[in-house]
């Protein structure tokens, strides 16, 4: 399928889809309502092929299939954690593997999706970073993870997916060509509210500014992990290209754009970024851009012998921040038994494949 040059219906924004499909039917002398039918099948019916579009005449289903593809990823592996977290490994048309995670909580079902196969950023605490960069995902491959996960959730008696976070593999703001349309498609096509979609970035400044300029209120999570440039630079190579002062200015612009909430992600690594003296500077940064702080225990990876900060230390951070008026939450690690942290399932699977085992 790699040399398949049919345009992918899943990569079109709703406006593009309408005009391409309208044009297709017009050239075939078909009535205008055929486009409405296809639109419904894509966004509501989650059709994977025109053959499922049962209210189209057979010859129109075939013609649609000749003109367009619907490139939804296939399931390479699914794992359900003891705590209900569900991890999918998806196989894309060229065999590339990416993952997504469904995280059920009492009131929500959050889907964490990937935006790239691998990641070029090389953060030293991240399994995906160590694995290197393979390729960009298309908008359709990003949206395809949502469609396939929604179908799985329906079939397995979960509620609807309420929230989407771009926190799987890859740096979304290094793939803006696909991520911008994917946001539009999820929001306008599939009806996921902008405030329920969070883009997580390690600090790609031009991308943050572009997101600030969008009219929708998508949320931003900034993977901060350290409140000063020196320490941050030792964890995140991008800090050298977009140092903290520049980053904070971009965050201020995002915040000033109005109604857009920023979250700081702070992964707590024992003896690396959890000194109590860091609480003050972290609180100052959070105050400047009115950020909510998520403290996340580090999830050990095969490439480093680091461990998570102790619960006592994490609580001391949380208490210190809230005493300074910062809104803070300690995020529990979900799905630890299935390696549901960023980039880990794919890493393990590639090791298994190298050893000769094939995932189902």
Interaction of residue 185 with ligand SF4, rule CB under 6 A: no
From the CB of 201, what's the least distance to ligand SAH, in Å? 5
Active site residue 112: no
Give CA–CA dist 223/203, Å, rounded. 7
Residues 6+ apart with CB under 8 A from 229: 239, 243, 244, 245
Residues 6+ apart with CB under 8 A from 97: 76, 89, 90, 91, 117, 346, 349, 350
Nearest to 45 by CA among 150, 125, 194: 150
Q: Which of 98, 161, 202, 282 binds ligand SF4 (CB under 6 A)?
A: 202
List 112, 119, 123, 342, catalytic entry: 342
Site mask for ligand SAH (CB under 6 A), range 269-298, x = bound: ---------------------------x-x
Cβ closest to ligand SF4, residue 128 vs residue 299: 128
Give CA–CA dist 287/297, Å, rounded. 22
Active site residue 60: no
Interaction of residue 345 with ligand SF4, rule CB under 6 A: no
Q: Total residues at the site for ligand SAH (CB under 6 A)? A: 16
Piece of the chain touching ligand SF4 by CB under 6 A; list 119-127, 154-162, 209-217, 287-295: 119-127
Residues between 288 and 347 that touch ligand SAH (CB under 6 A) = 296, 298-299, 301, 341-342
Which two tokens mark 344? Answer: 């880990």
Give CA–CA dist 330/319, Å, rounded. 10
Burial 192-215 (b: 16+ CB within 10 A, else e): bebebbbbbbbbbbebbeebbeee
Interaction of residue 208 with ligand SAH, rule CB under 6 A: no
Three-class SS of residue 345? Answer: helix
What is the DSSP code string of 14-57? HHHHHHHHHHHHHHTT--THHHHHHHHHHHTS--SSGGG-TTS-
Give CA–CA dist 271/59, Å, rounded. 66
Task: Write phi, then psi, for 305 (nearest 5 degrees).
Answer: -95, 25
Site mask for ligand SAH (CB under 6 A), range 152-191, x = bound: ---------------x---x--------------------
Q: Total residues at the site for ligand SF4 (CB under 6 A)? A: 12
Interaction of residue 131 with ligand SF4, rule CB under 6 A: no
Residues between 57 and 96 that touch ligand SF4 (CB under 6 A) = none
List 39, 60, 72, 99, catalytic entry: 99
Interaction of residue 119 with ligand SF4, rule CB under 6 A: yes
Q: Which of 37, 100, 128, 149 binds ligand SF4 (CB under 6 A)?
A: 128
Task: Write phi, then psi, for 120 (nearest 5 degrees).
Answer: -95, 0
Residue numbers at the binding site for ligand SAH (CB under 6 A):
125-126, 167, 171, 200-202, 223, 265, 267, 296, 298-299, 301, 341-342
Residues labelled as active-site residues? 99, 342
């Amino acid at each position: 399928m790699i040399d398949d040059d049919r345009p992918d219906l899943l990569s079109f924004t709703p406006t593009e889809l309408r005009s391409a499909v309208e044009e297709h039917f017009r050239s075939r002398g078909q009535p205008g309502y055929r486009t409405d039918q296809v639109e419904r099948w894509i966004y509501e019916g989650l059709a994977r092929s025109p053959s499922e579009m049962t209210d189209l005449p057979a010859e129109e289903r075939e013609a649609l299939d000749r003109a367009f593809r619907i490139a939804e990823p296939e399931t390479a592996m699914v794992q359900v954690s003891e705590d209900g977290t569900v991890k999918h490994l998806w196989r894309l048309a060229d065999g590339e593997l990416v993952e997504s995670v469904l995280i059920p909580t009492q009131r929500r079902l959050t889907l964490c999706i990937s935006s790239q196969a691998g990641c070029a950023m090389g953060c030293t605490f991240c399994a995906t970073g160590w694995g290197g960069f393979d390729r960009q995902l298309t908008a359709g491959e990003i949206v395809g993870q949502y469609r396939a996960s929604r179908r799985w959730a329906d079939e397995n008696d979960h509620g609807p997916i309420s929230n989407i976070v771009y926190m799987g593999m890859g740096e979304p703001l290094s793939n803006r060509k696909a991520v911008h349309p994917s946001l539009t498609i999820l929001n306008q096509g599939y009806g996921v509210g902008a405030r329920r979609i969070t883009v997580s970035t390690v600090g790609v400044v031009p991308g943050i500014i572009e997101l600030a300029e969008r009219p929708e209120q998508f949320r931003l999570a900034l993977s901060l992990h350290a409140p000063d440039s020196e320490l941050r630079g030792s964890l995140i190579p991008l800090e050298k290209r977009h140092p903290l002062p520049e980053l904070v200015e971009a965050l201020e612009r995002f915040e000033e754009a109005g109604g857009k909430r920023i979250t700081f992600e702070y992964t707590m690594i024992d003896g690396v970024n959890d000194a109590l003296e860091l609480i003050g500077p972290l609180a100052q940064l959070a105050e400047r851009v009115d950020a909510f702080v998520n403290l996340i225990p580090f999830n050990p990876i095969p490439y480093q012998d680091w461990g998570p900060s102790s619960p006592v230390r994490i609580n001391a951070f949380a208490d210190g921040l809230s005493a300074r008026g910062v809104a803070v939450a300690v995020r529990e690690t979900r799905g630890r038994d299935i390696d549901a942290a960023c980039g880990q399932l794919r890493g393990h699977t590639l090791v298994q494949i190298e050893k000769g085992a094939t995932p189902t």
